[in-house]
Amino acid sequence: MSLIAEDIRVSYGRRTALRGVSLTARPGEVTAIVGPNGSGKSTLLGAITASLPFDGAVTLNGRDIGAMKPWELAAQRAVLPQASRLAFPFTVIEVVRLGLQSGTAGDSPDVPMRALARVGLAHYADRIFQELSGGEAQRVMLARVLAQVWTPVADGQPRWLLLDEPVSSLDIAHQLQVMDIARSFARAGGGVIAVMHDLNLTALFADRVAVLAEGQCLAFGTPGEVLTDDILSRAYGCALRVSAPPPADIPYILPHAATA
């Protein structure tokens, strides 16, 4: 009952974006994918979510995703894209309900409101989606995704949250809130894969980290194993030092020190 990607290769025309990446994500854990811009993180997530053609194999809870119907996949995993646009003036609550329409059994009709409350936007239910700020819109989309797989375990199988940069446009308080939602989902038995840019949040919330660079997986392991000077410097192409305090006169704010 895991999400296993094996030897994933993807090319866009003649440009190769992924050259054989393997990844195993386990339920109960938050698996983070980090790496520089263009390293193939979104592409890997695209393969895992069956949204682009790829070579290799992806199995979700023991089944090959290539053999699953869209609605079977939708019942087991929800996907937050890196950027979302909406074509018509739906209200916030209507957007969240779109996720529910996948008709996954047993979801009660108040799930959309509860999902909105979970991201702290219950009082925004009647706002027009297009009129939200970037961060608000991102949280509404997260609520939609949560509504789709509201219970982390269904029919004895884990369900999955696949998130592409879920905190990219959020303030620090909401970054912590959203990562906490992801971790609670995992602790309740679901699985989470999140593409991340913030290495501090990754260190705080991820159970496993995959480091991608130039379409390959440079390292995979716990944050302690993977977030090292050597690996990060190689991945990002600049000299990085882990847990080194900055010069004394420049303030620094780490999420580690935040309390609710």
Give me the 39-58 binding string for ligand ATP, x by CB under 6 A, dash otherwise.
xxxxx---------------
Cβ atoms < 10 Å from Cβ of 248: 6
Contact 75, 104 (CB under 8 A): yes
- Among left, alpha and beta (phi > 0; psi -120 to 50; other), residue 239 is beta
Contact 137, 80 (CB under 8 A): no
Instruction: Please give the span between the terminal C-alpha atoms of the chain, in angstroms, as a whole number.
Output: 34
Which one, of 70, 160, 155, lies nearest residue 106 by Cα?
155
Q: Which stretch binds ligand ATP (CB under 6 A): 11-19, 94-102, 103-111, 150-158?
A: 11-19
Rounded CA-CA distance 153/243 in Å is 36
Is 24 buried (19+), middle (13-18) or exposed (0-12) by CB count in 10 A?
middle
Q: Which of residues 201-220 bind other proteins (CB under 8 A)?
A: none
The contact set with Mg ion (CB under 5 A) reads 42, 82
With contacts defined by CB under 6 A, how many residues of the chain interact with ligand ATP?
12
Closer Cβ to ligand ATP, 151 or 216, answer by number: 216
Q: Could you say whether residue 114 binds other proteins (CB under 8 A)?
A: yes
Q: Could you say whether residue 188 binds other proteins (CB under 8 A)?
A: no
Contact 193, 29 (CB under 8 A): no
Q: Could you say whether residue 37 binds ligand ATP (CB under 6 A)?
A: yes
Give me the 51-90 binding string for ligand ATP, x by CB under 6 A, dash otherwise.
-------------------------------x--------
| Min dist. Cβ of residue 122 to Mg ion (A) | 30
Residue ranges that bind other proteins, judged by CB under 8 A:
46, 49-51, 69-71, 73-75, 78-79, 81, 84-91, 93-95, 98-99, 101-103, 110, 113-114, 117-118, 120-123, 125-126, 130, 148, 177
